[in-house]
């Protein structure tokens, strides 16, 4: 956080000070969990569904909190704790982040660039790759995990201080207006639009509504900013039409022939001659504007990460990172966030591909294609048996049954050795696989992860590859950890 006084913070969040000297300097962290408080921190006492953070204010002060932001004045006996009282603590968190970033921008001693990333798939991976690319150049702040909502975005922004050169944010949307709100708090200098897919279509109502919600990110850009757009997604490409004056466009594409909406003079980051080896790693030729083509082999597993790598490379290029540094980082940067195409060789000799943090039809197809390519073998590697453990893709609305059925057809066409479908919501995968031509025990449905585990323990052998893929709430990521032998698996 920018160095501020207690009075500055009270003004920023439109609150009233109690129990503290207005000139008290504050420059440590900002937290919403009293268990994470450190000396000098500001504790935001949010009111949740099952708790009121103000109840933990005394514990936060005892742990070292210098200021509480809450919706009432906490006391210990007759002692008033240092507090800024506000109508809504969550809104105050956002206002504090907004004030801190604007103060950093106004400070002639600082030079901060804010990068915001959104899309129906790939946000967290691109955030991690972008952070890796920029952190080698200058002080960079980025969120752990998927801190992409009205709490996570401000908390990440408040970690930026006078030493921060790059602030990388992941921004998610569950309704129209979410991104408009987030960008009103922290306006990006570079906005990345990855894809408009069917994820959360049950929430938005239609893919067109999803596109409308995602477009709010680039609509926030002001003159001199950069929109990094996926040229291979027509709905993303259409967002160029909503850009403000003097906002630059930098496309990224993995097509051999560029789409018609990319002009001959447009700046494009491209991947050409894409291949995937038996380890599941993609290789391609990277073309950056004004640079000689470079050969890249991604450390990340899965051909679908080519687009993610291009988006991150486009941001890095816009920020002045050299081509050699970009190539080296892409070749060494692996999954920083758990359960996203996480490749683990288990002690039993089974290779686990744990991609069960999020799932939608696009990412499900990509994961299965990667599994199939890893099992094929080549001149130096024998073919391997492939197992797909698939759970429900949530929030697909009225398209849920057909979307799951499409995946059932795909597993048969990809010749996946064994498909284990888990849970009632995912059962259309199993039904469609049978109709498509699955025979014997190639496809099996079980109601619970525990039953899937029994099957796997009975059938897996050294050399096999097993993919776990589902939405987070289906819980298959924990089963993947168990099969992989990951310490602490639930």
Residue 99's pLDDT is: 98
When the pLDDT of each residue in the chain is averaged and rounded to a whole number, the result is 93
Mean pLDDT of 14-25: 96
Higher pLDDT, 389 or 435: 389
Mean pLDDT of 262-267: 96
For the chain, the straight-line distance linking the first and the last C-alpha, in angstroms and rounded, comes to: 36
Are residues 171 and 115 in contact, defined by beta-carbon separation less than 8 angstroms?
no
Hey, where are the domains in the chain? 4-86, 111-331, 342-484
Beta strand 140-141 with 30-31 is unpaired
Query: How crowded is the C-beta side of 294, counted as CA atoms within 13 Å?
Result: 22
The confidence score (pLDDT) of residue 278 equals 87
The answer to whether 124 is a known ligand-binding residue is: yes
Residue 121 assigned ligand-binding role? yes
Mean pLDDT for the stretch of residues 306-312: 97
Task: Using DSSP, state whether 188 is helix, strand or coil.
Answer: coil
What is the enclosing helix (H) or strand (E) of 372? helix 361-376
Q: Report helix angle 207-219 to 178-185, nearest 10.
A: 10
Q: Is the pLDDT of residue 202 over 80?
A: no
CA distance 258 to 104: 39
Q: How far apart are CA 119 and CA 166, in angstroms?
A: 20
Helix (H, G, I), strand (E, B) or coil at 67: strand
Tens of pLDDT, residues 435-454:
988 777 899 999 999 999 99
- Fold for the domain defined by 342-484: 3.90.190
- Residues 230/308, Cβ–Cβ less than 8 Å: no
* pLDDT of the residue at 414: 95
- Asked whether the beta carbons of 271 and 249 are under 8 A apart, the reply is no
What count of residues does the chain have?
490
Contacts of 344 (CB under 8 A, 6+ apart): 351, 352, 354, 484, 485, 486
The mean pLDDT of 108-127, rounded to a whole number, is: 95
Strand, helix or coil for residue 380: coil
Question: Angle 383-429-366 (CA atoms, 0-180°, nearest 5)?
Answer: 50
pLDDT 10s digits, 177-192 = 999 999 999 999 999 9
3-state secondary structure 391-460: CCCCCCHHHHHHHHHHHHHHHHHCCCCEEEEECHHHHHHHHHHHHHCCCCCCEEEECCHHHHHHHHHHHC
Q: Is 48 marked as binding a ligand?
A: no
Residue 30 annotated as part of some ligand binding site: no
Q: What is the reported pLDDT for 59?
A: 96
Is residue 165 pLDDT above 70, yes or no?
Answer: yes
Look at the domain 111-331 and name its fold.
3.40.1190
pLDDT at 335: 65
Answer yes or no: is 123 a known binding residue: yes
Q: Is the predicted pLDDT of residue 316 greater than 70, yes or no?
A: yes
φ and ψ at 38, to 5 degrees?
-120, 170
Q: What is the pLDDT of residues 62-74, one digit of tens each?
A: 999 999 999 999 9
For position 67, what pLDDT does the model report? 97
For the chain, what percent of residues have pLDDT higher than 70? Answer: 97
CA distances 166 to 116, 188, 192, 194, Å, are 11, 11, 15, 20
CB atoms under 10 Å from CB of 244, counted, come to: 13
Are residues 160 and 186 in contact, defined by beta-carbon separation less than 8 angstroms? no
Asked if residue 437 belongs to a known ligand binding site, the reply is no
The model's pTM is 0.87
Nearest partner of 186 among 115, 238, 246, 131, judged by Cα: 115
Please, which pLDDT band fits residue 282 given cuts at 50, 70 and 90? very high
C-alpha to C-alpha distances, 428 to 376, 400, 403, 440, 475, nearest whole angstrom: 26, 9, 9, 18, 18
445: closest CA among 467, 419, 471? 419
324 is in an annotated binding site: no
- Indicate if the pLDDT at residue 35 is higher than 60: yes
**CA 57, 60, 62 angle in degrees (round to 5)?**
110
**226 φ/ψ angles, rounded to the nearest 5 degrees:** -130, 130
CB 246 within 8 A of CB 224: yes
Look at residue 199 in the predicted model and tell me its pLDDT. 59
Comparing 31-35, 242-246, 355-359, 464-468, the range with the smallest average pLDDT is 355-359
Q: pLDDT category, 336, cuts 50, 70, 90?
A: low
CATH architecture of 4-86: 3-Layer(aba) Sandwich (3.40)
Query: Residues 390-405: pLDDT tens digits?
Result: 999 988 888 899 999 9
Q: Is it the case that residue 208 has pLDDT exceeding 70? A: yes
Quick check: 144 pLDDT over 90?
no
Q: How confident is the model at residue 49 (pLDDT cuts 50, 70, 90)?
A: confident
């Amino acid at each position: 956080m920018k160095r501020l006084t207690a009075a500055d913070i009270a003004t920023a969040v439109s609150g009233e000070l109690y129990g503290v000297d207005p000139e008290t300097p504050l420059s440590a962290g900002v937290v919403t969990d009293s268990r994470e408080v450190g000396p000098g921190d500001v504790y935001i006492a949010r009111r949740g569904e099952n708790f009121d953070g103000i109840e933990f204010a005394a514990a936060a002060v005892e742990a070292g909190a210098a200021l509480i932001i809450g919706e009432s004045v906490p006391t210990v006996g007759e002692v008033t704790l240092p507090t800024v009282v506000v109508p809504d603590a969550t809104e105050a968190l956002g206002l504090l982040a907004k004030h801190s970033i604007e103060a950093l921008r106004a400070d002639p001693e600082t030079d901060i660039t804010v990068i915001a990333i959104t899309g129906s798939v790939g946000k967290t991976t691109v955030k991690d790759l972008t952070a890796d690319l920029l952190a080698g150049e200058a002080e960079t702040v980025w969120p752990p995990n998927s801190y992409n909502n009205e709490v996570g975005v401000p908390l990440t922004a408040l970690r930026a201080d006078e030493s921060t050169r790059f602030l990388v944010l992941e921004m998610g949307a569950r309704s129209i207006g979410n991104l408009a709100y987030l960008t009103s708090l922290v306006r990006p200098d570079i906005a990345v639009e990855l894809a408009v897919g069917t994820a959360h279509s049950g929430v938005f109502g239609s893919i067109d509504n999803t596109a409308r919600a995602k477009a709010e990110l680039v609509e926030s850009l002001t003159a001199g900013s950069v929109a990094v757009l996926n040229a291979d997604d027509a709905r993303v490409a259409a967002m160029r039409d909503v850009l403000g004056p003097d906002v630059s466009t930098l496309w990224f594409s993995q097509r051999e022939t560029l789409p018609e909406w990319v002009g001959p003079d447009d700046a494009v980051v491209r991947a050409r001659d894409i291949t995937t080896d038996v380890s599941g790693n993609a290789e391609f030729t990277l073309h950056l504007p004004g640079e000689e083509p470079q050969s890249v082999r991604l450390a990340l597993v899965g051909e679908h990460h080519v687009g993610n790598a291009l988006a991150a490379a486009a941001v890095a290029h816009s920020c002045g990172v050299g081509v050699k540094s970009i190539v080296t980082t892409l070749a060494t940067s692996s999954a920083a966030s758990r359960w996203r195409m996480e490749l683990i060789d288990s002690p039993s000799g089974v290779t686990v591909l744990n991609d069960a943090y999020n799932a939608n039809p696009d990412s499900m197809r990509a994961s299965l294609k990667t599994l199939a390519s890893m099992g094929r073998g080549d001149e130096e590697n024998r073919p391997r048996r492939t197992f797909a453990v698939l759970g429900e893709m949530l929030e697909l609305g009225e398209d849920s049954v057909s979307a799951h059925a499409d995946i059932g057809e795909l597993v048969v066409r990809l010749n996946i050795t064994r498909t284990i479908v888990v849970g009632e919501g995912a059962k259309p995968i199993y039904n469609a696989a049978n109709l498509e031509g699955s025979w014997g025990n190639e496809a099996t449905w079980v109601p619970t992860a525990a039953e899937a585990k029994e099957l796997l323990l009975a059938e897996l052998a050294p050399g096999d590859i097993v993919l776990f893929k589902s939405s987070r709430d289906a819980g298959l990521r924990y089963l993947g950890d168990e099969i992989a032998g990951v310490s602490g698996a639930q």
